Structure 1
Amino acid sequence: MLWVLAKRGLLTPGPPGKVAAQLNALRRWGFSLAGELRAAADRSPEKVAVIDESGSVTYRDLQIRVEALGLALRARHDIGLGSRIGVLGRNHSGTIVSMAAGVTLGAEVVLLNPALSAAAVAAVAREQGISLVLADTDLAELVAGLPTLTESAMDQLVRHAPPGRLDPPDRAGRLIVLTSGTTAAPKGARRRTPTSLAPLASVLDRIPLNVGDNVFIAAPLFHTWGLAGLQMCLALRATMVLRRRFDPVSTVVAMGRHGCAGLVAVPIMVQRLTEAVPHPTIRPRVVAVSGSALPGVLATRFMDAYGDCLYNLYGSTEASWVSIATPADLRLDPRTAGRPPLGTKVEIRAASGLPVAAGEIGEIFVRNGMLFEGYTFASPTQVAGMLGTGDLGHFDADGLLFVDGRADDMIISGGENVFPRPVEELIATLPQVREVAVIGVPDDDFGQRLAAYVVLHDDEQLSEDEVREYVRHYLARFCVPREVNFRASLPRTATGKVIPRDLE
């Protein structure tokens, strides 16, 4: 672990007083969001922490604002240990302040998805027992009827915060991330608070971000991957470039203007970048993606345009990370999910619970230092200390992991087990296809068959028969979609996952 941290610059000596203050902050506050921010502010107070549409803010000023908001929330709204608050915000410094202030007070902070309807937000708030919501001004209508502080109200609280200082709570505040809810209502998953730098070293082992880098975080902060990007950047005392809404052209412009070495994104954003800016002038060192499946054809297309800088982290809200594919892995086979990083154990298990041999498909189980602590109203499913992901996959002979699909995505067609993902990957290689989703649908003759939903590039044409013949040429007969539906777009979550129930 130490050699990874040293390689990324985390063990570089600094002014003794600032290093001592940094270590003391971590000793007192731990490796929570609050502790990481305080440690960064103590070590590099003048370093720019965030650049967003409102300008730039240093680590010292960010921490001052967190402290003031925390004092005001405690005094005016009785938020403290055991409270549960919601944060409903897009990517900007205010969202970070809201999250860190709640954690500083020992509260449980539920990260709400701005893409949810008002009814869904209300249902989540009831289920999670949220007593107060800190919301972006333009999102306040989603929490009508709930006690809410908008951005202007929080600014007032900060300006008129009572004097004093906050001490570490008896129990560290926690972040609760909502699952994507593509197949069911979103559940609250309690994020584990790290107890050391080991989880950070696991990710940095294969994603080479360094201390002091400028990093554009495009992935939503309310999602596990955007949150991971935030936590990595705080630990690295990086400068985070944030925008409330993702736009591919302005992202490339901002990365060039601010000299960003890294981009934290979801795969659909990478696709939009290749479409909008196919011949970029920037050459980032790291483009790290997660949050949904990365199509192999997209991985190759992106690296051909932006260079071999693409890193794909396969994980989930519950598992954090399972494996990471480096550019070298993706050049070997762009469909791979890579290899388990430092300190991570992955096994493929059969339905019996026993591990299977290389090449055989089974459920993916993982153990690492950041497995979630459980849903807010349920316990995680584990076998021998390893968490079942619900995904099916296999290792090849070289130790590369491949995800074959969700266990509940697999269909039985005419007695054959059929996975939609390989069919998706194949159809995506057609040059006319912009994006595609394949799901199982009922069939009177075969029990189930596949249906493909295809979005074409502008001014391109393709027939249903041409898609079927293409699949028939390369895959087995039972993989040929019964239906091929052409759509203008696919329904997706904020992190780019296709919502199957909205396809039919």
Structure 2
Amino acid sequence: MAMWRRPAGRTRGEAAKAAVQAGADRLAPTLQTLWLLIRQGVVRPMRPDKLLRIVFAWRRWGVTPALGYAVAAIRHPDRPAVIDERGALSFLELEQRTTRLARGLRARGIRDTSRVAVLCRNHHGLVETIVACGKIGSDVVLLNTGLRPHQMRTVLDEQRADLLIADVEFVEALPDLELDVVLAWTEGTTRKATLEHLIGSSATGTLPRRPRHARVIVLTSGTTGTPKGARRPAPPGVGPAATIMSRMPLRAGERIMLAAPIFHTWGLAAFQLGSAIGATLVLRRKFEPQQALAAVQRHRATALFVVPVMLQRILDLPREAIEPYDTSSLRIVAASGSALPADLATRFQRVFGEVLYNFYGSTEASWVSIATPRELAEAPGTAGRPPRGTSVKILDERGARVPDGETGRIFVRNDMLFEGYTGGGGKEVRDGMLATGDLGRIDEAGRLQVVGREDDMIVSGGENVYPKETEDAIATLPEVSEVAVIGVDDAEFGQRLAAYVVLVDGAELDAEAVRERVRPALPGFALPRDVVFLPELPRNATGKVVPARLREGSADTER
């Protein structure tokens, strides 16, 4: 029989005190989470009958979006859950519709061993599909709407999808699919199966049993190669939501204007956060800056989730096009998905006030750090600080920690690191910490500064050169609307920097003027030897610049 023994050298009192302290250390994060959820209104007193129904829902669905919408349907059934171009659905309606959709999918042969691919823009059908698949236990593969037809076929084959749920516009571009298809968003009449038909023709009632915990598979951006499927872990509880709220003060019942695409990790994170806090999601199928401002005003949105290029497009509007809209309801504008240029952060907060949060993370790492509006005002472009329960280290090539102020590789540990790629393999891990693939440093105030991707750094004439530093300098020129800087091959120096610049409408600038005006801010080796003027930067559907397509414009280079 195994017996507990007091560690050598400790008295009985010391051992008891150590045991109490260990228990307190384990309990402290739980109490912190509970207090934060109470403070933000997510947890509050309710009638015993509602509490009992919530317990049953938790036992039924586990910690999933299905639980979030079931809880919201119990607590405030008539509150709008989703508002899109076709109107609003209440939480009770969405709860009932997703159960019927789950039954309709089961009648179509979808089981917990199935995999459902989804090719949709932001609208209620996408939300309902994710929730309904969770009620069945089938994995969901979120497809990037910007993939080309041959990429789409490759991804569908690799992911072994059993069913494709897609907006009609994308199905028309993929006429030869050997796959069962259900249409989500349609225009006019159609003879094909639709989500509305599955919902309308399925009976209400309970599903047969508690499903397995389904996975959501998100594709990497594919800016440097073929997109890979990344298995997202199921949240272990409400802890991840509380972690984000520790740096970004989201409240229960927010009205979230979700402009970032849900098929991307950032949009999916916003959707998951929204389901956890009972938020109303305001969705639009396509982002148009003036319409986004109009939707914020019309629905009194309190939070706006975007990718940085959307902020740029808003600020590109003439002042007279922005001023008529009342955006005073916005407390939080959360940007992620690509690097936030320092100048863009400054200009946005000058117009809209100190409401901007810079969320630094990735498909593989989930979150790493969050910069608050005050931090962005003090150090524009910073990635801020890690939220509670998250560890960030800057390591050198040997895995040793580098001193603050020096550049190294960024590693992170949190509760939601990805589980690997669906095709096999993963990211480098050192002592339980995942490599983000980025380079960065910790500044004098303890804030994380992201220098750029590891594979973006070039060696030019023996010097390590980081393109982001040059990008940030060029972006401050008032004639410049957008800029991207990458490394290109050079016969003499090995590599050199090439800047791709989009000018503000009506502005004039030449390559030599660009170099001369940023020269005081940059060392000589960081000046771009090539400057290419483009009408727009080639971006994918999530707003990331695609370097391979940038190089296609090099014929217009000025030196």
1:331 has 2:377 as partner:
yes
The match for 1:86 is 117
Of 478, 489, 502, 2:536 maps to 489
- Indicate the larger mover: 230-239 or 434-443: 230-239
1:69 has 2:69 as partner:
no
- Asked if the contact 2:259–2:287 (Cα under 8 Å) also holds between the matched residues in 1, the reply is yes
Query: 1:148: how far off?
Result: 0.6
1:214 has 2:239 as partner:
no
Of 491, 507, 519, 1:460 maps to 507
Of 183, 193, 205, 1:150 maps to 183
Aligned ranges for residues 397-408 of structure 1 at < 5 Å?
Answer: 397-408=444-455
Query: 1:98: how far off?
Result: 1.1
Query: 1:285: how far off?
Result: 0.5
The match for 1:95 is 126
Aligned ranges for residues 131-170 of structure 1 at < 5 Å?
Answer: 131-144=162-175, 145=177, 146-151=179-184, 153-162=194-203, 164-170=205-211
The match for 1:275 is 316
Structure 2 counterpart SS, 1:412? strand
TM-score between the two structures when normalised by the length of structure 1: 0.97
Take 1:16 and 1:211, find their aligned partners in 2: how far apart are those partners? 20
The match for 2:289 is 248
TM-score between the two structures when normalised by the length of structure 2: 0.88
The match for 1:286 is 332
Take 2:495 and 2:272, find their aligned partners in 1: how far apart are those partners? 43
The match for 1:20 is 52
After superposition, give the CA deviation of every residue in 1:18-52 in whole Å (9 maximum; x if it has no partner): 23322332233111222222222222221110111
Query: 1:9: how far off?
Result: 0.6
Take 1:167 and 1:466, find their aligned partners in 2: how far apart are those partners? 69
Q: Which amino acid aligns with 1:314?
A: Y
- Indicate the larger mover: 155-164 or 104-113: 155-164
Take 2:256 and 2:205, find their aligned partners in 1: how far apart are those partners? 34
The match for 1:120 is 151
- Asked if the contact 1:218–1:242 (Cα under 8 Å) also holds between the matched residues in 2, the reply is yes
Take 2:446 and 2:57, find their aligned partners in 1: how far apart are those partners? 40
Query: 1:79: how far off?
Result: 0.7
- Asked if the contact 1:309–1:327 (Cα under 8 Å) also holds between the matched residues in 2, the reply is yes
After superposition, give the CA deviation of every residue in 1:344-388 in whole Å (9 maximum; x if it has no partner): 111011100111110111110001111111111223221111110
Unaligned runs of 5+ in 2: 1-32, 185-192, 552-559
Take 2:75 and 2:234, find their aligned partners in 1: how far apart are those partners? 21
The match for 1:262 is 303
- Asked if the contact 1:471–1:479 (Cα under 8 Å) also holds between the matched residues in 2, the reply is no
Take 2:517 and 2:363, find their aligned partners in 1: how far apart are those partners? 35
Of 448, 466, 472, 2:519 maps to 472
After superposition, give the CA deviation of every residue in 1:65-103 in whole Å (9 maximum; x if it has no partner): 11111111111x211112111011111111111111112
Query: 1:170: how far off?
Result: 4.8
- Asked if the contact 2:134–2:211 (Cα under 8 Å) also holds between the matched residues in 1, the reply is no
The match for 1:205 is 246
Structure 2 counterpart SS, 1:408? helix
Take 2:55 and 2:476, find their aligned partners in 1: how far apart are those partners? 50
- Asked if the contact 1:104–1:168 (Cα under 8 Å) also holds between the matched residues in 2, the reply is no
Of 266, 276, 279, 1:225 maps to 266
After superposition, give the CA deviation of every residue in 1:430-457 in whole Å (9 maximum; x if it has no partner): 0000000000001111000000000000
Query: 1:167: how far off?
Result: 4.6
Take 1:345 and 1:142, find their aligned partners in 2: how far apart are those partners? 44
After superposition, give the CA deviation of every residue in 1:289-311 in whole Å (9 maximum; x if it has no partner): 11011001010100110110001
Structure 1 counterpart SS, 2:89? strand
1:109 has 2:140 as partner:
yes
- Asked if the contact 1:413–1:448 (Cα under 8 Å) also holds between the matched residues in 2, the reply is yes
Pairwise CA RMSD of aligned residues?
1.3
Structure 2 counterpart SS, 1:312? strand
- Asked if the contact 2:159–2:422 (Cα under 8 Å) also holds between the matched residues in 1, the reply is yes
Take 1:396 and 1:180, find their aligned partners in 2: how far apart are those partners? 29
After superposition, give the CA deviation of every residue in 1:437-496 in whole Å (9 maximum; x if it has no partner): 000001111000000000000000011001111232221111111100000000011221
The match for 2:406 is 360
Of 352, 356, 364, 1:310 maps to 356
- Asked if the contact 1:118–1:141 (Cα under 8 Å) also holds between the matched residues in 2, the reply is no
- Indicate the larger mover: 409-418 or 24-33: 24-33
Take 2:58 and 2:219, find their aligned partners in 1: how far apart are those partners? 27
- Indicate the larger mover: 167-176 or 347-356: 167-176
Take 2:68 and 2:421, find their aligned partners in 1: how far apart are those partners? 24
94 and 170 in structure 1: CA distance in 2 versus 1, 3 angstrom threshold = closer
After superposition, give the CA deviation of every residue in 1:380-410 in whole Å (9 maximum; x if it has no partner): 2211111100100010121100000100000
Take 1:456 and 1:422, find their aligned partners in 2: how far apart are those partners? 19
Take 1:79 and 1:445, find their aligned partners in 2: how far apart are those partners? 59
Q: Which amino acid aligns with 1:48?
A: P
- Indicate the larger mover: 154-163 or 385-394: 154-163
The match for 1:29 is 61
Q: Which amino acid aligns with 2:414?
A: N
- Asked if the contact 1:21–1:43 (Cα under 8 Å) also holds between the matched residues in 2, the reply is no
Structure 2 counterpart SS, 1:263? strand
- Indicate the larger mover: 151-160 or 221-230: 151-160
Structure 1 counterpart SS, 2:46? coil
Query: 1:12: how far off?
Result: 1.8
Equivalent residue pairs, number: 503
Q: Which amino acid aligns with 2:264?
A: H
156 and 427 in structure 1: CA distance in 2 versus 1, 3 angstrom threshold = same
- Asked if the contact 1:81–1:169 (Cα under 8 Å) also holds between the matched residues in 2, the reply is no
- Indicate the larger mover: 274-283 or 401-410: 274-283
209 and 355 in structure 1: CA distance in 2 versus 1, 3 angstrom threshold = same
Take 2:209 and 2:507, find their aligned partners in 1: how far apart are those partners? 59
After superposition, give the CA deviation of every residue in 1:209-243 in whole Å (9 maximum; x if it has no partner): 11112110000011111111111111111111111
Take 1:135 and 1:315, find their aligned partners in 2: how far apart are those partners? 28
- Indicate the larger mover: 2-11 or 396-405: 2-11
325 and 167 in structure 1: CA distance in 2 versus 1, 3 angstrom threshold = farther
